[in-house]
Amino acid sequence: MAYFGFKCYIETKKLVSLANISKKFETLQWQLFYALFSQTLIPLIFMQTPMTVTYVFTMILSNSFPFLGRWVAFGISSYLATDAWPTILIIKPYRDALINLICFWKWCKVKVSPNQAIGDNSNTV
């Protein structure tokens, strides 16, 4: 995996330097590369590491531990929940859209004055 990641880095660097492209396109290419790199680390951390530890402990100690099985289940479910976050946080247009969405939710809440009661129909005819 590291070999192909390094080859991808070298080829991306070579293509970006050879091409006559805008700075914005070059920045986007590097953001995509970093997102790809981080998305290869997430399965390694959340799935392969717990499974490898479980396998090695079971093989060496000739015994299984329920904690390790729960750790694998937690890792798999965490992987599914966090898989898209690197792309959302690393690529600038996605990150800007997320920030705008959060700011929209934060600032566009309906404000009710303290003296206005819910269900108060005093100003209706």
pLDDT of 113 above 80:
no
Q: How many CA atoms lie within 13 A of 40 on its CB side?
A: 12
Spell out the alpha helix ranges (H) of 44-107.
49-61, 66-82, 85-90, 92-107
Residue 112 confidence (pLDDT) above 60 = no
Whether 104 shows a pLDDT value over 80: the answer reads no
Predicted confidence (pLDDT) at residue 31 exceeds the cutoff of 80? yes
pTM comes to 0.63
Q: Looking at residues 26-30, what average pLDDT do you find?
A: 85
Contact 88, 94 (CB under 8 A): yes
- Residue 69's pLDDT band, with cuts at 50, 70 and 90, is confident
**If pLDDT is split at 50, 70 and 90, which confidence band does 46 have?**
confident
pLDDT band at 17 (very low <50, low <70, confident <90, very high): confident
Q: How far apart are CA 69 and CA 74, in angstroms?
A: 9
Burial class (CB within 10 angstroms; exposed 0-12, middle 13-18, buried 19+) of 75? buried
Helix axes 66-82, 49-61, angle to 10 degrees: 170
